[in-house]
Amino acid sequence: MIDIRKLAARALLAMSFAAAAHGVSAQTYPSRPVTWIVPFAAGGPTDALARAIAERVARELGQPIVIDNAPGAGGTVGAAKASRAVPDGYTMLVGHMGYMGAAPALYKKLAYDPVKDFAPVFRFPDTPLVLMVRKEHPAKDIKALVDFGKANPDKLFISNAGVGSSSHLIAALFAASAGIRISQVPYKGAGPALIDVIGGQVDGIFDQTNTALPQIKEAKVRALAVTSKVRLPQLKDVPTLGETVLPGFEASTWYGIYSPKGTPQAVLDKVQRT
């Protein structure tokens, strides 16, 4: 027979331990390395930006931040893993527009809720994207590319960093807005997706500025448009999509740090202050 009093006592004890553990971690946090889950492969734009910011935050926190690359299913695998982590501030998620913004609309079954299962900690700066084509592509400007897409449904091959990546989502948004049908070619990360544009195996890509700029400067690809609201100082001759073929169009990759729901507020506050 179940002893209700014993069960209640055990539950109370477990809650006391959990509360105590959180209380201690809030006061002494962080007393050991912190893990940031990056749900994309190492070397891509999300990983690069996360590492740059992690290095800066770690200096403020006084403990290393370990990057745990957990790719798969457009970042949803890593996000689900983060949602199940102990909410003690030692495991956080580098969130991204794909798996923290678009995923609930794109997947019928999602193992987490970006709003209900996480506590938002702080946001990163935004990263716009650049639409680039292979050097030999006949389209010399963005209008010509849209015209090419209208005249050749499904014949404009656009690579992306994987299903659910910002390069995938923004290409879909661009195609829908421009009224063209493109063929999306998913790769395992932005690096190989861009390499095949340079090599001419595919026509183009929407890539983030932090990884695209070096290729544009070396003239390995042709930049046709940027997705930001205004032109970028580094690419003054490259128009925005909004000022050319898609008035009002604006999209950037956004990121933020999230902690599993239930993380003590004092811990969140400490990370936010960095």
**Binding region for another protein (CB under 8 A):** 49, 52, 56, 74, 95, 97, 100-102, 104-109, 114-115, 119-123, 125-128, 163-164, 169, 172-173, 175-176, 209-210, 213, 228, 232-235, 252, 254, 256, 258, 268, 272
CB of 106 to another protein, least distance (A): 4
CA distance 185 to 203: 10
Give DSSP secondary structure letters for 160-211: ESSTTSHHHHHHHHHHHHHT---EEEE-SSHHHHHHHHHTTSSSEEEEEHHH
Nearer residue to another protein within complex by CB, 72 or 144: 72
Nearer residue to another protein within complex by CB, 9 or 119: 119
Nearer residue to another protein within complex by CB, 90 or 258: 258
CB of 124 to another protein, least distance (A): 8
φ, ψ of residue 44 in degrees (nearest 5)? -85, 180
CA distance 72 to 28: 34
Instruction: Return the axis-axis angle of helices 4-28 and 265-273, rounded to nearest 10°.
Output: 20
Query: Residue 40 in 3-state DSSP?
Result: coil
Nearer residue to another protein within complex by CB, 148 or 254: 254
CB of 125 to another protein, least distance (A): 5
Nearer residue to another protein within complex by CB, 85 or 106: 106
Nearer residue to another protein within complex by CB, 32 or 56: 56
Nearer residue to another protein within complex by CB, 63 or 210: 210
Sheet holding 255-260, edge to edge: 65-69, 34-38, 91-96, 255-260, 118-123
CB of 232 to another protein, least distance (A): 5
CB of 227 to another protein, least distance (A): 11
CB of 151 to another protein, least distance (A): 21
207 burial via Cβ count (<10 Å: 0-12, 13-18, 19+) = buried
Asked if 217 and 210 count as a contact pair (C-beta separation under 8 A), the reply is: no
Rg (CA), the chain: 22
CB of 209 to another protein, least distance (A): 4
Give DSSP secondary structure letters for 197-212: HHTTSSSEEEEEHHHH
